[in-house]
Amino acid sequence: MNSPLRTRRAEWLVTAPSFLWLALFFAVPAVIVLAFTFHGHDISGGVGEWSLSTWRELVDPDYPTIIWNTIRISVEVTIWSIVLAVPCAYAIARMNSRWRAIVAGSIMLPFWTSFVVRVFAWKTMLHPDGWLQACYNFLSISSEQSTILDSETAVVLVSVYSFLPFAIMPIYTAAEKFDFSLLEAARDLGAKNFYAFRKIFLPGIRQGLVSAVLMVFIPAIGSYVIPQMLGGTNCVLIGNKIFMRAIQNRNIPHASALATVMAVSVLIPIGLSMWWKKRQDMRDRQRLEAQTARLFTAGEGAAK
């Protein structure tokens, strides 16, 4: 049936609010940022003439180090989060439904306090005279005493703390659908526990793993508050540099160029994951088709 709403004009009417809003406040600003990167820097804090000088200046020894550090730290944070999230998700998925709801809920509960306040609590805890530093000093083997606060360690630690729930949730959602009797079957066939876990469980939840990686990696690349509060001058990431250039130095072309670099380093893993998913889907379909064909010919053979 053709309802009155399904006309071209109605479509425009319903689409217009969000389309125009996001075009004006998301797409246009993105184009402006990209355009600014092809401008020179004006000493008065504005934007100068069209030129490629900004991109040339990005080779400055300072920037590549910061970009590399940001990517390296984001990868570290992602690995730690996934390594911790997989056993957690596994443990929750094996609980009965009552406990599942309680534990999954309590993983999200910390989000009811402000993010900044939680980072602040960490800053207070990691104070050089605090108890965590004392434990760290006690445990560290090296005679050289270093503070955790204002170091890369603090940034990685608190980033893992902040993003871990985002890693647990998608993996848990995937693990919940996983058929655990497959693991028992593998064990019956002689597989060791860890071997079965690696060969059966991990491939079974791969979709959840991919979304967990993205859920941690993207905010880690864009991290600004955590390095600003806990990294001091020893751990400056792209996010901090963008803020510095945009607000403090008023070097808008440089800030824009760094933002473009950040956008690209986020889009690459997303593109890769999309390509990988497409390939996996195609492989699954091919395998299914091959199996069906084999069964079919086997059936024909048996009939003969």
Partner 1 sequence: MKRSMVSVMILAAVLAFLYVPIILVVVYGFVPNGISMSFFGSDGSFLGFTGKWYKYIFTGHQSVRSLLESFWLSLIIAGLSTLASCAIGTTSALALHKWKDRLQSIHHALVYTPLIMPDILIGISLLMLFAACHVNCGFWTILIAHITFCVSYVAMTVLARLQDFDDRITEAAYDLGAGPWYAFFHVELPILLPGIVAGGLLAFTLSIDDVVITSFVNGAGTNTFPTYVSSMTKHSRNLPSVFALSTLMLVFTCVLVGLSKLITSKGQAKLKPKAS
Residues numbered 247-276 forming contacts with partner 1, rule: CB under 8 A: 247, 252, 255-256, 259, 262-263, 266, 270
Interatomic CA distance for residues 184 and 191, integer angstroms = 9
The residues with which 47 forms a beta bridge, in sequence order, are: 41
Residues from 223 through 252 that contact partner 1 (CB under 8 A)? 223-225, 228-229, 239, 242-243, 246-247, 252
Q: Which of 59, 142, 190, 194 binds partner 1 (CB under 8 A)?
A: 194
290 token code pair: 């091959």
Dist CA 53 CA 137 (whole Å): 47
If one asks whether residue 185 binds partner 1 (CB under 8 A), the answer comes out as: no
Can you state the percent helix, strand and coil of the chain, rounding each to 5?
A: 75, 0, 20
Count of C-beta atoms within a 10 Å radius of residue 149: 21
User: Taking contact as CB under 8 A, which single stretch among the options 4-12, 51-59, 278-286, 289-297 is the one that binds partner 1?
Assistant: 4-12
Report the residue from 65, 113, 146, 286 that binds partner 1 according to the rule CB under 8 A.
Answer: 113
87 lies in the site for partner 1, by CB under 8 A:
yes
- Beta carbon of residue 281, minimum distance to partner 1 (angstroms, whole number): 19
CB of 10 to partner 1, least distance (A): 7
Q: Which of 60, 64, 110, 293 binds partner 1 (CB under 8 A)?
A: 110
HEC profile of 38-60: CEEECCCCCEEEECCHHHHHCCC
| Neighbouring-strand partners of residue 39 | 50
**Nearest-approach distance from CB 291 to partner 1, in angstroms:** 30
Spatial separation of the C-alpha atoms in residues 100 and 103, rounded to whole Å: 5
Q: Single out the segment in contact with partner 1 by CB under 8 A; choices: 55-63, 115-123, 135-143, 276-284.
A: 115-123
Rounded-to-integer distance, Cα 100 and Cα 175, Å = 12
Among positions 5-24, residues that touch partner 1 (CB under 8 A) are 5-6, 10-11, 14-15, 17-19, 21-23
Which residues 203-222 are close enough to bind partner 1 by CB under 8 A?
214, 218-219, 221-222
Q: Least CB distance from residue 302 to partner 1, whole Å? A: 41
By CB under 8 A, what part of segment 122-151 binds partner 1? 122-125, 127
Residue (5 or 185) nearer to partner 1, CB? 5
Minimum separation from the CB atom of position 53 to partner 1 (A): 18
Supply the minimum distance, in Å, between the C-beta of residue 288 and partner 1.
Answer: 25
CB 210 within 8 A of CB 85: no
| Type of residue numbered 133 | Q
CB of 104 to partner 1, least distance (A): 11
Do residues 185 and 241 touch, judged by C-beta distance below 8 A?
Answer: no
Place of tokens 């570290």: 76
Q: Rounded to whole angstroms, how far apart are CA atoms 28 and 199? A: 47
Determine, following the binding rule CB under 8 A, whether residue 153 of this chain makes contact with partner 1: no
Distance CA 299, CA 304 (A): 9
